[in-house]
Amino acid sequence: MKNYFLFLVYIAITSAEAQQRPKLVVGIVVDQMKMEYLYRFSDDFSPNGFRRLINNGYTFPNMHYNYMPTYTGPGHASIYTGTTPSTHGIIGNEWFSRTLGKEIYCTDDVLVKTIGDGTSKEGEMSPKNLQSTTITDELRLATNFKGKVIGMSLKDRGAILPAGHFANWAFWYSKTGAFISSTFYGNKLPDWVTEFNQEKRYMPYINTGWDLLKPVANYNESLADNNPYEGKVNGEKPVFPYDLKAMFDNNDASILRATPFGNDLLAEFAKKAIEKEELGKDNITDFLTISFSSTDYVGHILGPRSMELQDTYLRLDQTIADFLVYLDKAVGKANYLLFLTADHGGAENTNYLKDNKYAVTNIEPKEIRKALKQYSIDTFGEDLVLNYSNFNVFFNKAIIKAKELELVKVKQSFKDFLMTQEQVKRVYSEEEILGSSGNDYYLNFIAKGYDSKQNGDLIVLDKPGYIEYGATGTSHGTAYSYDTHVPLLFYGWHIKKGESFDKKAITQISPTLSQMLKIPFTNGTEAKVLEEILGK
């Protein structure tokens, strides 16, 4: 009897030790998801997708990005590093680097090669431009590299940046329809990935086409089909139903990106990864990062008020519901910790706002560049602007020096000119940004997104509602709430039900996970945590 009692004590202690960490952490990022969508589309959500996460998990409905620019690359990097672009160095998706004097892409790496059935350029990617560690890196270190980390997305940056420097693998979607990777991670794809790709699982979605999931009456939260604020989908009018097979025949498998089925394919791939990599099968914590990108493609092309976007979210709700059931069975309900957030929000279409009497407009970036060039030639006799992109103005210092001009006066001249432009709210110089004292709300956003070795000489803050984009669809990138306000849902292992309406910063996710997993903080974070979910 005594031995039996000791055995039970041993089992209890062993079980308690096993529960010090979850068996699997799943980080889900929904690209371009505004918090508003959880409210606007809620009547048509199932009980088992987003609602399950909300009703049985912890919700932070006032989560915001705390820097500018709000783009995909910086968003994914900030979620997982727990810091902002000024520290982690991913200051855009692509940007002109003042140090290198050329455009670079956030995950470019010419020293690695594509592995898998993709083009040579699609796989020349790695996390080398990411200057901070990620929560996934710290998990690898804390488990002596025994815990597995795998990242995946339709986008290379959505897979690579969350997975960090030490990931076992990162996989992203090629226009060939295959998931590929780079030699940064290995010399050949795992056999299960090759087998998955050979099955061409994208084709059933393409052959079926895209029609509304529910009766048209359910889409009363959206504008009419084929409204004037929508762009073309793969060259075709934005009208249901979509003949995806015809689009595929005229293009390639990349057409799946701008449909809800890109998300479905990725979820299939995630399940296969959990099965074949045996994620969550032992007591050493693994981490799977998933970034659903189709929402962003649909949003950019068709805008936030399109039936297509609503349909994409209704289908994503079903995809998440199905994935949760899979996790319950494959890992166990009490064994996984899941969080869901977004890399940025998105603006309303400016023409839609204008038609409803809000005097804003879109501005094509090429028109801004053209105006800057003309002003420079008229004022200084030469084009002194090296580059304008991502709200940054870069000056050609060599020409300024050769013409014996004072850089400070040149900056002021261009600031004065930019302030005459309809869309501009404020212009900040490098000196103002680096010397920011905390008294200017938006300057603080810009400072947290500014890397003095890479960013420009001036940063432009547009007025609310204006976007530097085309006339249809939408974009993002500003410091305003429509771009910064995203959902954050925690669910699963050691998560109590509840919600907090206190304003939170996206950089609090990573350090909170560090505390929950009892591992070191990432090396760039301020370590401000979400205390609400850390208590007993």
> Which sign does the torsion angle of CA 340, 486, 461, 477 carry?
positive
Bridge-based pairing state of the strands 169-173 and 179-182: antiparallel
Displacement of CA 536 from its chain's centroid (Å): 31
Displacement of CA 427 from its chain's centroid (Å): 27
Whole-number Å distance between alpha carbons of 147 and 167: 10
Helix axes 135-142, 509-517, angle to 10 degrees: 20
Whole-number Å distance between alpha carbons of 417 and 438: 26
Q: Which pLDDT belongs to residue 63?
A: 98
Can you give the pTM of this predicted structure?
0.95
Q: Which pLDDT belongs to residue 535?
A: 76
Buried b (16+ CB within 10 A) or exposed e, 42-58: eebbeebbbbbbbeebb
72 annotated active-site = yes
Whole-number Å distance between alpha carbons of 509 and 35: 16
Could you identify the residue written with the tokens 């039936």? Answer: 307
Choose, from 72, 83, 87, 176, the residue flagged as catalytic.
72
Q: Please state the φ and ψ torsions of residue 133, each to the nearest 5 degrees.
A: -80, 160
Terminal-residue alpha carbon distance, the chain:
34
pLDDT 10s digit of each residue in the chain, 536 long? 445 444 443 344 444 444 589 999 999 999 999 999 999 999 999 999 999 999 999 999 999 999 999 999 999 999 999 999 999 999 999 999 988 889 999 999 999 999 999 988 999 999 999 999 999 999 999 999 999 999 999 999 999 999 999 999 999 999 999 999 999 999 999 999 999 999 999 999 999 999 999 999 999 999 999 999 999 998 899 999 999 999 999 999 999 999 999 999 999 999 999 999 999 999 999 999 999 999 999 999 999 999 999 999 999 999 999 999 999 999 999 999 999 999 999 999 999 999 999 999 999 999 999 999 999 999 999 999 999 999 999 999 999 999 999 999 999 999 999 999 999 999 999 999 998 767 899 999 999 999 999 999 999 999 999 999 999 999 999 999 999 999 999 999 999 999 999 999 999 999 999 999 999 999 999 999 999 999 75
Q: Which pLDDT belongs to residue 402?
A: 96
Q: Which pLDDT belongs to residue 17?
A: 44
